[in-house]
Chains A and B, each alone.
Chain A
Amino acid sequence: MEILLQQIINGLVQGSVYALVALGYTMVYGILGLINFAHGEVVMIGAMLALSALTALLGLGAPPALALPLSLVLAMAGCMALGYGIERIAYRPLRHAPRLAPLITAIGLSIVLQNLAMMIWGREYHSFPQLIANTPHNFGGAIINDIQIIIFVMALAIMAGLMVVVHRTRLGRAMRAVAENQHAAQLMGVDINRVISLTFILGSALAAVAGLMVSANYGLAHYYMGFLLGLKAFTAAVLGGIGNLRGAMLGGLLLGLIESLGAGYIGDLTGGFMGSNYQDVFAFFVLIAVLVFRPSGLLGERIAERA
């Protein structure tokens, strides 16, 4: 029972990070019909930037309580600029190109960013400094520590904030309008380039937060970390129904749970033949299953529009 609870806690924490990243995929897909495969690398660069800023600030003698939020803000600013640049330089010129062109560009961009990160930060693992006491709490026999609590609460708060932006503000309305019909949105006076840029910027800010969360949770950051994380978050977005914001959140949390529970019980299920190191298999098993049985995802909709 304790193991089950522990796996659920771990799954929800990891899943909330997937959800933040999945939102970035789904927002861009919703508005451009493009899968921005470079998004995982934005998460990685967010983690690296945050770590560099943190190290530098601590080196200057800043107290952790100041250094941590400040490095998060710096990482977010860096990623927002990166997200804007990616759209402006790599995707905008291909806006009217066949769909394959931006897809290949996205993959190429992902490789470029990875190599760039490797040149800047090297190939080694960077460890995340121990800043918070990170006290473990006993929760019905399972253990949850401070960092996990912070990650989960912060992720939920950010998602709630995003929903408010998308559903209650002028910008959010414009985003939904552009996602639905770019020409009609233009006829309303919407500068669609601006809205598309802001969508990338918003998604990249979430990616930066997620990057810091992942590296704080595992205590590590690495130039290659964005690849697998990005694929899993993409899986989460597909699971929830790509293009659907609530779907991305649901898909992220579910994927975290599936992975965690799968890793926890795979040993029992296979009689010890497979261990928890097969954890990553579950995400892609889920991806295949969704694509085969429910390609539109859990909350994916097919709206029949009246003529």
Chain B
Amino acid sequence: MMHESNSTNSDFVIPAKAGIQSDQIAGFRVKPGMTNSNNALLQVSDLKVTYGGIQAVKGIDLHIAPGELVALIGSNGAGKTTTLKTLAGLLHPASGQIHYDGRNLHNVASHQRVAMGMALVPEGRGVFARLTVQENLQMGAYSRSEQHEIASDLARMYELFPHLAERKNQIAGTLSGGEQQMVAMARALMSRPRLLMLDEPSMGLAPLMVQKIFETIRDIAALGMSILLVEQNARLALQVARRGYVMESGSITLSGAASELLGSDAVQRAYLGG
């Protein structure tokens, strides 16, 4: 398994900023907020979020370099979803900074973040159950205006998810959970994101479907897109990711190369049932 994950990591070819890649492959432990902070696509510093009266995120630092697949793992209630919702602008931070592409997102509304290239596939997928599959995908391209490119992206999505092509005129609410996850991912991709955030894509899916979804995540990452993957299924997430953060009750307790985390005793004991 470890070998497989390493080989996958080296498949992520990022033409620019080769330095980052060699760092990762060498398996150096990356401390949050220290490396690559100047050219990171996403830079989060000392983020605190209060949600429902409790401090769900207690001052975290993380960053994602262009083209990186980063996993954020942790148990239920650790604050992973709150973190993603805050990054997407659905929740407002109590304090701390989020910089995306060098820009402070403090006063940027969630719908504007989509236009800037941030896309979140939310927990529970958030598929529009009463819209058709095709209408869902068209919603994904809402912030774009070039009709020709949207049409060709739509065709590309049906190539990437042939299963959806057969069902494009079907009401999305009638699809299975796995199919809905595909709709949610294809829909997010329709916005042509530079940073794709996935919240528990494996949740509630049959093992075969989980495998399929993760294959797709690898394919997307191979295109050079930056991905922040939140998962309870730590093993799967760390197998596809290059780096990982471990979150526990609102704080990041561990971070580093995914292969290192997979091998670390603490992670083994807490999340991998080893």
Task: Identify the A interface with B (CB < 8 A).
Answer: 170, 173-174, 176-177, 180-181, 183-192, 303-307
Shortest 6 CB-CB contacts between residues of A and residues of B:
A189-B143, A189-B114, A184-B126, A186-B110, A188-B139, A188-B142
Contact B142 A186 (CB under 8 A): no
Beyond A187-B88, A189-B142, A189-B191, is A177–B128 a contact (Cβ under 8 Å)?
A: yes
Question: Do residues A190 and B111 form an inter-chain contact, with CB atoms below 8 A?
Answer: yes
Contact A307 B177 (CB under 8 A): yes
A305 touches B131 (CB 8 A): no
Total chain B interface residues with beta-carbon distance under 8 A: 34
Q: How far is the CA of A14 from the CA of B110 in the complex (A)?
A: 44
B272 contacts A by Cβ under 8 Å: no
Binds A, one of B73-81, B117-125, B252-260, B263-271: B117-125
- A191: contacting residue among B109, B128, B191, CB under 8 A: B109
Nearest Cβ distance between residue A172 and chain B, in whole angstroms?
A: 10
A173's partner among B90, B124, B138, B187 (CB-CB below 8 A) is B138
Task: Indicate whether B129 reaches chain A with its CB closer than 8 angstroms.
Answer: yes
> How near does chain B come to A244, taking the closest CB pair, in angstroms?
11
A170 to B138, alpha carbons, bound, how many Å? 8
Which B residue's beta carbon lies closest to that of A176?
A: B131
Q: Is the CB of B173 within 8 A of A190?
A: no
CB–CB B109/A181 < 8 A = no
| 30 CB < 8 A contacts A-B | A170-B142, A173-B139, A173-B142, A180-B129, A180-B130, A183-B90, A183-B126, A184-B126, A186-B89, A187-B88, A187-B110, A187-B120, A188-B111, A188-B139, A188-B191, A189-B114, A189-B142, A189-B143, A190-B139, A190-B142, A191-B109, A303-B129, A303-B173, A305-B129, A305-B173, A306-B175, A306-B176, A306-B177, A307-B124, A307-B177
Q: Which residues of B contact A188 (CB under 8 A)?
A: 111, 114, 139-140, 142-143, 187, 191
* B142 partner residues in chain A, CB cutoff 8 A: 170, 173-174, 188-190
Residues of B with C-beta under 8 A to A191? 109, 111
Q: Which A residues lie within 8 Å of B173 (CB)?
A: 303-306
B226 within 8 A of A: no
CB-CB < 8 A to A177: which residues of B?
Answer: 128, 131, 139
